[in-house]
Amino acid sequence: MPGPCSSVLAMTAPDIRVVLVETSHPGNIGAVARAMKNMGLEQLVLVGPKQFPHSEAIARASGAADLLARARVVGSVEEALAGCGFIAATTSRERDQRFRVLDVREAAGRILSESGRGPAAILFGSERAGLTNEQLEAAHVLVRIPVSDTYPSLNLAMAVQIVVYELFRAGGIERLSSADPLADPQEMERLYAHLSQVLTEIDFRDRTQSGTHLMGRIRRFLQRAELDRNEVNILRGILTAVQSRRRKAGES
């Protein structure tokens, strides 16, 4: 029985993956599993953990050993996100790639709502270095947890606890289950590859001094657009039509 200060809500676990990238300390993995079970989440994915399975992870899971046993271990962020629509990534530092940044409470509502359209994911980086810019490429939003300027550093398990608590707290938000699923990272990568090919074919070049920023900028604004699968198919159809017209013009 829950204690007098506990509140238990009966709800189906949302389709949300907690993805830990290159976690160094096995105890953090166990603590994350416990936090997830506290807040009704079930899908833990580990990308290249340094030590797992490990006795310390089991000890820190403290009642969530079943969730820990079901955790998937994969070799890349791409594999961890396969099939996901909406993707959020946590960060503790400023980024200059024009990401949309949301406060954790606002982000929780979005993640929970979007999980009604299709699988959603939250990325957490390693304890020492966080997430690289490359690992952030698939993210639609970045999540910031407000902390004191005096000591703006959170333990990985503490950060996960805050995020999953906010997800649990946002459980009453209406989901967008009738909307089309967002395009997953693989579909977006195929779009970017197709777009890059067409830009080369029409000789549309990066005019910046270094000549390396164009596709990065395009990626960022298309990630902010949060394209669904149908919209990606429309864009790729347009690109195919452009290629077809160029071939006909070249033949004539």
- Summarised one tens digit per residue, pLDDT across range 52-61 is 999 999 999 9
And the tokens for 232? 């990606």
Name the E strands within the chain. Answer: 16-21, 43-47, 72-74, 87-90, 101-103, 120-124, 141-144
pLDDT in tens, 14-42: 999 999 999 999 999 999 999 999 999 99
β-pairing, 72-74 vs 87-90, is unpaired
And the tokens for 57? 């992870």
pLDDT in tens, 106-155: 999 999 999 999 999 999 999 999 999 899 999 999 999 998 989 888 99
Contact 172, 217 (CB under 8 A): no
Chain mean position to CA 179: 19
The confidence score (pLDDT) of residue 211 equals 66
Report which DSSP code applies to 171.
G
**Residues 86, 89, 92: CA angle, nearest 5 degrees:** 155
What percent of the chain is modeled with pLDDT above 90?
Answer: 75
What percent of the chain is modeled with pLDDT above 70?
Answer: 88
Q: What does the CA dihedral 31, 114, 133, 101 come to, rounded to 10 degrees?
A: -100
Instruction: From the options 1.10.8.590, 1.10.10.10, 3.40.50.150, 3.40.50.300, give the CATH code of 185-251.
Output: 1.10.8.590
Confirm or reject CATH 3.40.1280.10 for domain 16-172, answering yes or no: yes
When pLDDT is cut at 50, 70 and 90, the band that residue 171 belongs to is confident
Mean pLDDT, all residues of the chain = 89
The confidence score (pLDDT) of residue 37 equals 95
What residue ranges do the domains of the chain occupy? 16-172, 185-251
Model confidence at 252: pLDDT above 60: no
Name the E strands within 22-92. Answer: 43-47, 72-74, 87-90
The confidence score (pLDDT) of residue 126 equals 95
| Cα distance from N-terminal residue to C-terminal residue, the chain | 79
pLDDT in tens, 82-111: 999 999 999 877 665 678 999 999 999 999
> Could you give the CA distance from residue 140 to residue 221 in angstroms, rounded to a whole number?
10
